[in-house]
Structure formats: structure tokens, C-alpha cells
Copies of this chain bind each other. A is one copy, B any other.
Amino acid sequence: MSKNLTTRAEDYSKWYNELVVKADLAENSGVRGCMVIKPYGYAIWEKMQAELDRMFKETGHSNAYFPLFVPKSMFEAEEKNAEGFAKECAIVTHYRLKNDPDKPGKLMVDPNAKLEEELIVRPTSEAIIWSTYKGWVQSYRDLPLLINQWANVVRWEMRTRLFLRTAEFLWQEGHTAHATKAEAIEESEKMMNVYSDFVQDFMAIPVVKGLKTETERFAGAEETYCIEALMQDGKALQAGTSHFLGQNFAKAFDVKFANQEGKQEHVWGTSWGVSTRLMGALVMTHSDDNGLVLPPNLAPIQVVIVPIFKTEEEFEKISLVVNELVSQFKKLRISVKFDNRTTQKPGFKFAEWELKGVPVRIAVGPKDLENGTFEVARRDTLSKEVVSKDGIVSYINDLLETIQTDLFQKALYYRKEHITEVNSFEEFKDVLENKGGFISAHWDGTPETEEKIKDLTKATIRCIPLDRKEEAGKCVFSGLESAGRVLFAKAY
């Protein structure tokens, strides 16, 4: 199979677009800005979902489901939130089509079927969920409410890219309600940590935990926690956010509870989400010019076995050995595929599985049968080794763990190499242009400076790292006092 993949050095953006399509992850649909997630891509997303869902339940959350639509009056109740999403939302205005009298066989919107109140297709569900919580919360005994939803949401983005920015995307959104401010803040931080553990341990992507500035904060939140990752082209990608909502939504939707003294108080809220955007981060962190590189934890196929044969007889002998091996892998819950297609040559198969990022490839030919060996190839390093039949299963099992760790270490090394401290705006621009990555710089804390830097350089403040040193300094742009460094970057 011919890959014809643009290289990252040639055009990183093009490389990404091509890879997502050629590796069968997703494609553009006939609906503007909406993607089709193909079976191979969806299988990866399912693995993410399963692990996240497990983590949410382990931390006490339950799943539920809330309506797709938000009536306009409900949508506008929390003003900042509404303002933040009003400019890019899909609006349902009618509920019936009828035959077009002028065009036989065609349909038209029936003007007599206009909704009394327009419905917004949820861009996020705070409004609909908090309007429901009002009925669920009476007393402190009803709190905390710890609920998550797996759903599709729609944001009418003008410039879309597969996984990274699509009009419709899939995500989970947690929405919790608490009796105290401290509890709600604790929850926001806990979920940021759940995300960070998931992205680092499961996706092998290192992240920086931090707080968003006011400008970059979620519309309607008091504080937004985030995890920020760094892609191979030196651009940052926001991988997950967790919001402390204060009492904003509780006040907008009048959600009160009787505390232990019987006094009415507004509850405190959080919301947090990750989306199919993570698929984009996965591709852009690990993959190379030959195609996808998948961490074993997320690979739908962890091991592929390719037989090398000329005759029917050789094929049968190899199949016998391979089938035995396959059943041993399955016992260890290693996901394995025996590529026994007779319509394709080994070279074609090698290229195809390389493109699709299968972590380990095993090849077996007549020579191997004689010697009692297998040829084992790693997708991440493209290295090959001849491994004895004895102990091959535990060898592969260990190798999958090694690959998972190595991918993280490699990405971490890249990330470390690409956090640069700068102390002047000249340096800032120079690093941004010639090296990329995160720029650690002093900032005077004003939205005005943030805005100016963005206008001049396209770099935004990705986060105020939670682990930053307290270090007095001068703002890299204005020269004014600063309490510590923040991370700037160009971002997806």
C-alpha cells in the first residue's frame, strides 16, 4: 500500500490532515464542519471512554442524560455563559418539512410549523442541567450531586479541522453541585487531576496543570483549571478543563438548599470536560512520517502477526503456530490480529499496520519455524529483533509496557526541551518564531498586556502553572511588576 504521506517537516498541518484520513480515524462528512468518526478511530475513542468512565465512577460520579436542546430563555439565563456561546450555535426554529409545491419530489420547511420558542442545540449543558438541578436539590442531604454525561455538542465553528475543531464533537461533561465553596474547589481540582492522570498514564502525553487567565476562562466560571499539552510542531493544545463555577449557575437558576441550620443557601458548582479533541492530541504527540504511533493502552490492535510464505503448505504450517500464539495472547487480554489475508503481500501489510500505528508487529516465515523464532518490530522506534519462541508471550507483554513508558518519556523530553524561560520581549518573539513550545515569562497580570501580546505574536497565555515558583519579576512586555512566570504559546 502506498502511503504518500506528506512529512511533518514539509507541512505539519497537511501531514496531520492526511494522516487522520489515511489511517482511517475520521473524515469530513457531507455536513459542513461535521466529521464522521470511522470504526478504527472510534475504537480508540471507546478505549478512552472506558478508562475515563471507570475513573469517574471510582471518584463517585454517576452518568445521566440531559436534553440535546436548550430553549432560548433558559440558554440566556446565565448571561456570561450565553454571551460566550451565542455567536456560534445551531438554532432549531421549525419542526416539520412539507412537500415543496414548486419542486416535485423536494421538501421545504413548513412555515406553519414554527416553534414558539427557538431551541439551541447544546454547545455545553450547564443551562439545561442547572435548570434540572433546581428540582433535585432541597436540603444539604441532597448534596453533593456528582453527575457526568457522555454526549454530542455543537459549536458553529467557522474554520474546522478533524478532531481539533469540529462543529459537532463528542465529549463528556461533568456537572456537580456542592454545599460549600471549598468542596466545589476541591472537586474542580480533583477532576483536573483525574484528567492529568488519564492523559499522562493512558495516552502517554505529558501535561502542565494550571489555571486559565480571566480572558481564557470558561464563560460563566470563576476559575478554570486546565491541562496543557505540547504538540510536535511546538504548538500547545488544551487537553481538558475543569471549572469552578462559584454560585453563578445556582443563582441564575435559583438552585438553593437548606443547610444544617435550616437556612437557605445557593449551592456551589463545577463542570469539567474532555472531548474527541484528545484524538487530535494523540495523533500529534506520538505519530511520525510513516503514520500513526499508538500507545499500547489505546491501540485497538496491540499486536499484529504477518505470515511470510510462498506456498500453501508454508502458510498452513505458519498458521498452526500463529493460532496457538494468538490464543496465548488472548488469555493475557492482549489484543492481537493475525493478518492472514492472501490477497495482499507482506510489504503491503507492513506498511498498512505501520500507518495504523499498531505498537508491535510480529513476522513469521519458514526460516522462523525452523529456528523457533519470530521477528518482532516496534512501531515507535521502528527497530526489529529476533525473539525465541519460548517466552515470546511474556516478552511481548513486557514490551507493550516498555513502549507505553518510552512514548511518555520521549514526549516528556520533547516538552522539557521546549519550555524556554525568556526575560525580554525580543527573546520572547525570537523563541516563539524559531523554536516554538512553551515560553515561560513574567506577565503583569492585566488582560490588556495579554491582548497586546496576542495581537503581536499570536501567542496566548496557556496557563498559570500550579507548580510555578513564587518569583518576583518584571513583565516581559510592559516591564511592570509580576508575581511569577506564566506559560505562553501558540495554540490549537
Q: Which of A69-118 contact B (CB under 8 A)?
A: 69-72, 74-76, 79, 82, 86-98, 105-107, 109, 118
The answer to whether residues A68 and B119 also contact, given A30-B74, A92-B92, A98-B86 and a CB cut-off of 8 A, is: no
What string of 1s and 0s marks CB contacts (under 8 Å) between A374-394 and chain B?
A: 000000000000000000000
Tell yes or no: A332 within 8 A of B by CB: no
Residue pair A97, B89 in contact (C-beta under 8 Å) = yes
Q: Chain B residues with Cβ under 8 A from A168's Cβ?
A: 67-69
Tell yes or no: A46 within 8 A of B by CB: yes
- Please classify the interface of chain A as helix (H, G, I), strand (E, B), loop, or mixed, using the class held by over half of its residues: mixed
Tell yes or no: A43 within 8 A of B by CB: yes
Partner of A29, one of B38, B66, B93, B154: B66
Closest residue on chain B to residue A39 by CB atoms: B62
Give the Cβ gap from A127 to chain B, nearest Cβ, in Å.
9
Residue pair B120, A31 in contact (C-beta under 8 Å) = no
Q: Chain B residues with Cβ under 8 A from A105's Cβ?
A: 76, 79
Tell yes or no: A434 within 8 A of B by CB: no
Residue pair B96, A156 in contact (C-beta under 8 Å) = yes
Residue pair B67, A43 in contact (C-beta under 8 Å) = no
Q: Chain B residues with Cβ under 8 A from A36's Cβ?
A: 64-67, 132
Q: Which of A400-452 contact B (CB under 8 A)?
A: none
Tell yes or no: A461 within 8 A of B by CB: no
Whole-angstrom CA separation of A204 from B170 in the bound complex: 33
Residue pair A64, B37 in contact (C-beta under 8 Å) = yes
Tell yes or no: A59 within 8 A of B by CB: no
Q: Which of A1-45 contact B (CB under 8 A)?
A: 27, 29-31, 34-39, 42-43, 45
Closest residue on chain B to residue A145 by CB atoms: B39
Tell yes or no: A141 within 8 A of B by CB: yes
Give the Cβ gap from A34 to chain B, nearest Cβ, in Å.
4
Tell yes or no: A131 within 8 A of B by CB: yes
Tell yes or no: A343 within 8 A of B by CB: yes
Whole-angstrom CA separation of A369 from B92 in the bound complex: 62
Give the Cβ gap from A155 to chain B, nearest Cβ, in Å.
10
Give the Cβ gap from A149 to chain B, nearest Cβ, in Å.
9
Residue pair A120, B93 in contact (C-beta under 8 Å) = no
Give the Cβ gap from A263 to chain B, nearest Cβ, in Å.
19
Residue pair A107, B82 in contact (C-beta under 8 Å) = yes
Tell yes or no: A326 within 8 A of B by CB: no
Tell yes or no: A147 within 8 A of B by CB: yes
Tell yes or no: A128 within 8 A of B by CB: yes
Q: Chain B residues with Cβ under 8 A from A76's Cβ?
A: 105-107
The answer to whether residues A91 and B64 also contact, given A69-B168, A152-B152 and a CB cut-off of 8 A, is: no
Whole-angstrom CA separation of A36 from B89 in the bound complex: 22
Tell yes or no: A121 within 8 A of B by CB: yes
Q: Chain B residues with Cβ under 8 A from A97's Cβ?
A: 72, 75, 82, 86-87, 89, 91, 120
Give the Cβ gap from A75 to chain B, nearest Cβ, in Å.
7
Whole-angstrom CA separation of A105 from B64 in the bound complex: 31
Give the Cβ gap from A427 to chain B, nearest Cβ, in Å.
41
The answer to whether residues A154 and B68 also contact, given A36-B132, A95-B91, A106-B76 and a CB cut-off of 8 A, is: yes
Residue pair B82, A63 in contact (C-beta under 8 Å) = no
Q: Chain B residues with Cβ under 8 A from A42's Cβ?
A: 62-65
Give the Cβ gap from A161 to chain B, nearest Cβ, in Å.
16
12 additional A-B pairs beyond A86-B97, A121-B121, beta carbons within 8 Å, are: A29-B66, A29-B132, A37-B65, A38-B64, A46-B63, A89-B95, A89-B96, A90-B92, A91-B96, A92-B93, A92-B121, A93-B93
